Amino acid sequence: MAIPPDPSSLYPDVAHQGSLGAALRFAAGGVLFAIPIASSESEPLTHAAVSCAVPHRLPLQIDGWRHERCWSIRGADAFDNMALIEGRTADLAAVAAVARAWHDGETLREISDAAPFVHLTGRFDLRDPDPARRMESEWQHLRLEATELSSSWSPAYRSLVEAAFAEPALRDLYPFTSHWVLRFSATTRPQLTPTGPCLTANSDGTYGVGKSIVAQDLGLCATAREAVALAVRNLPGVADPKTR
């Protein structure tokens, strides 16, 4: 593994200012002057967090890459620490503009419209921890994420997510993934309560249903709808029609 260069060689302008926080203020031309910015004590040239004036958002995280000059941003909600916005750019002034907008509580759409490098994750910018809305939010995120994937198994995975969303018994649960295995919880984050089978979209176009993320012991199906129907039959409290 290649040893990363010294951050001061990748970010000489940041090193000149002494920290990423100070460099952000300089790049912003004064608009961040009164806004709290915390630079990392251990890695001050590559990590900083910009506070947010609204309580339902965490500070915006800004990180410098180690092997090339680029910054990543992540803005998350305060209930689950799930990303609402993400992005990467080599333009520190653009990062500073997003930091100001995030701090001021501008809408997610306003932030992304003003800075094209910002990616919306699809999650809702919720102002309270309502469980039903958080479930809706995570479903919207998973559906958007599935449309943006570009791997060979993306169409199968997308079909699986859409088929699960179309099933009311699963749509009323909180969805989450582990190694791209679709799972469900009776509660929202941070205290997940996994329930029911795990669903997998396989590279050969088939769909697996299993009791764990490493098994497809409940069945292998030809279509996403069949896999979802099998999962529903194996939800806790649902009687198998064969036993009726």
- pTM of whole model > 0.85? yes
Tokens found for residue 80: 């689950």
Domain boundaries, the chain: 7-120, 131-243
What average pLDDT score do residues 111-121 get?
A: 96
Whether pLDDT at 240 is above 90: no
pLDDT at res. 241: 43
Per residue in 52-107, pLDDT (tens digit) is 999 999 999 999 999 999 999 999 999 999 999 999 999 999 999 999 999 999 99
- Between CA 38 and CA 48 the distance in angstroms is 5
Check: CB of residue 96 under 8 Å from CB of residue 24: yes
pLDDT > 90 fraction of the chain, expressed in percent and rounded: 91
Backbone angles phi, psi at 181, to 5 degrees: -90, 125
Backbone angles phi, psi at 84, to 5 degrees: -100, -40
Dihedral-angle region of residue 132 (phi above 0 means left; psi in -120 to 50 means alpha; beta otherwise): alpha
Among candidate residues 32, 123, 111, the one with its CA nearest the CA of residue 77:
123
Confidence of residue 237 (pLDDT cuts 50, 70, 90): confident
Residues 185/200/148/108 CA torsion (nearest 10 deg): 0
- Between CA 130 and CA 107 the distance in angstroms is 19
- Between CA 147 and CA 207 the distance in angstroms is 18
Per residue in 3-57, pLDDT (tens digit) is 888 999 999 999 999 999 999 999 999 899 999 999 999 999 999 999 999 999 9
The sign of the dihedral angle between the CA atoms of 106, 112, 116, 121 is positive
Which residue, chain included where needed, has tokens 């479903």? 139
Per residue in 166-223, pLDDT (tens digit) is 999 999 999 999 999 999 999 999 999 999 999 999 999 999 999 999 999 999 999 9
Per residue in 33-45, pLDDT (tens digit) is 999 999 999 999 9
pLDDT at res. 244: 32
Instruction: Give the single-character DSSP code of 72.
Output: E
Whether pLDDT at 243 is above 80: no
pLDDT > 70 fraction of the chain, expressed in percent and rounded: 97
pLDDT at res. 2: 74
Beta-carbon neighbour count of residue 241 at 10 Å? 7
- Between CA 195 and CA 186 the distance in angstroms is 6
In this structure, of 33-37, 144-148, 157-161, the range with the lowest mean pLDDT score is 33-37
Which residue, chain included where needed, has tokens 């890695």? 43
Confidence of residue 238 (pLDDT cuts 50, 70, 90): low
Check: CB of residue 141 under 8 Å from CB of residue 153: no
